Amino acid sequence: MDTEYDAIVIGGGSAGLSFARHAAGLGRKIALIERAELGGTCVNRGCVPKKMLWTVADALHRGSGLTRAGLLGATPPVDMERLCARRGDKLAAIRQSYRDKLGEAGVTLIEDVAELTAPGEVTISGRRLRAPRVVLATGGRPVKPDMEGAHLACDSDAVLNWTALPRSMAIIGGGYIGCEMAAIHAALGVRVTLVTDTDRVLTEFSEAAAKVGQANMAAQGIRIVTGCTPEAVRETDDGLELVLDADTSLAVEKVVAATGRAPNLEALGGLAERVAATDKGVLKIDERFETSLPGLHAVGDCADRLPLTPVASGDGETLARQLFGTHRPPVDLRHVATTAFVLPPVAEVGQPSEAAIFEQKTLSPLSAALRADASQDYYGLGGSESAVTSVSLVAEGAHEAIAWAAQMLLHRPDRDTMRRALGVHPSTSEEVMG
């Protein structure tokens, strides 16, 4: 094995893969070290398996509303065994494609545990590799709350590996991960209660959009308990008990903790104290993704950026170009679109604040006349009539539309110009464009 490289990247998730491939494409000698599966959280325990499960949930959700309205027959059962097999095949194919692309790019793939033992020096199984640049792309992991019986709760990683559905579940945490798990499993037929210590769910989104999303979750049959910090999880003869307070508890089959994530920083080893971190525990970086330790860079969920796959991939490419090609600045996070895959999805771009929203509307889509669940759509525009700077959407297809909205916002359109592009009839888009 070679020991000298132009750069060594630790972590084979979205950020590390992107950096390695682009740096190698610029003619550099690159080693990528991964201790587990290629693809990281997104492919193996996050976005991809979640979206595949959501696809089934979305179909069932649409059908069940028509069933309850008496327009369709009984809701079909989910063949979880076959679904899990299909999902496993797809994830394996993605991992193999990454392996192939690394090989084609000339990246040295090392499947082992890495530790940074000195600046510019990485040790694996007793061997020392050196490079003037080391890139930490180690991602993050879910964390459970500090409470009695927390070990009895599943985390989001475990949920996406379920091969059978529980009859009932309680979810601790009202962020987008908790809400997605709630909406998906409710659509799959699970009785779901979501508990959050905040006054509403989806606090990552603007209040108006989040409230519509929350109302849609309630219409779906999800029980939402706000302003509550659970005290304990306990085993019972029939399953689990989630203790909310001295007088209230929930009897459920499964408890899921969706209470945040922490960066994987074990690879820093004894150098950890020399690398500055934020209050959230992620690594501080500058415009060149460099940490407080010269020559050590960080991208992806372990760095102080938005923990989203497109950001991780984009930052990996940007860093490769900064170090070995033509310099370009990191993507402005204001232009990053994001979506919570509830039913229907909640999506935003432009980081809207309540004060900045100058036009908004909640409406009933045409489908609500046929479906018993009566979900609501919403749009909000932020900025001003002369320069629209944010878009919020709650609607079927919002997860697709918001990316195009992000492209539009790069040009800061005025509201009159937007009205000159006509939406599709009948759809929520014509309300936004009208």
| Active-site amino acid positions | 425
16 labeled binding residue: no
Helix (H) or strand (E) holding 86: helix 80-105
- Cα distances (angstroms) measured from residue 325 to each of 14, 102, 311, 320, 409: 20, 19, 19, 7, 28
Task: Give the whole-angstrom CA distance, residue 46 versus residue 155.
Answer: 11
227 labeled binding residue: no
127 three-state secondary structure: strand
Beta carbons of 264 and 15 less than 8 angstroms apart? no
Q: Which of these, 163, 226, 186, lies nearest to 342 by C-alpha position?
A: 186
Beta carbons of 246 and 228 less than 8 angstroms apart? no
180 labeled binding residue: yes
**What is the rounded (10 degree) CA torsion for 145, 148, 153, 155?**
20
Beta strands in 173-253 (DSSP E): 191-195, 223-225, 232-236, 239-243, 249-252
Provide CB contacts within 8 A for 163, sequence distance 6+: 80, 81, 84
13 labeled binding residue: no
Task: Give the whole-angstrom CA distance, residue 133 versus residue 334.
Answer: 29
51 labeled binding residue: yes
Task: Give the whole-angstrom CA distance, residue 42 versus residue 220.
Answer: 27
73 labeled binding residue: no
34 labeled binding residue: no
Task: Report CA torsion sign: 182, 184, 189, 190.
Answer: negative
301 labeled binding residue: yes
Beta carbons of 150 and 144 less than 8 angstroms apart? yes
27 labeled binding residue: no
171 labeled binding residue: no
199 labeled binding residue: no
Instruction: Pinpoint the alpha helices (H) of 277-433.
Output: 309-324, 398-409, 415-419, 428-433
Annotated binding site for NAD(+): 173-180, 260
Annotated binding site: 51, 173-180, 260, 301
Annotated binding site for FAD: 51, 301
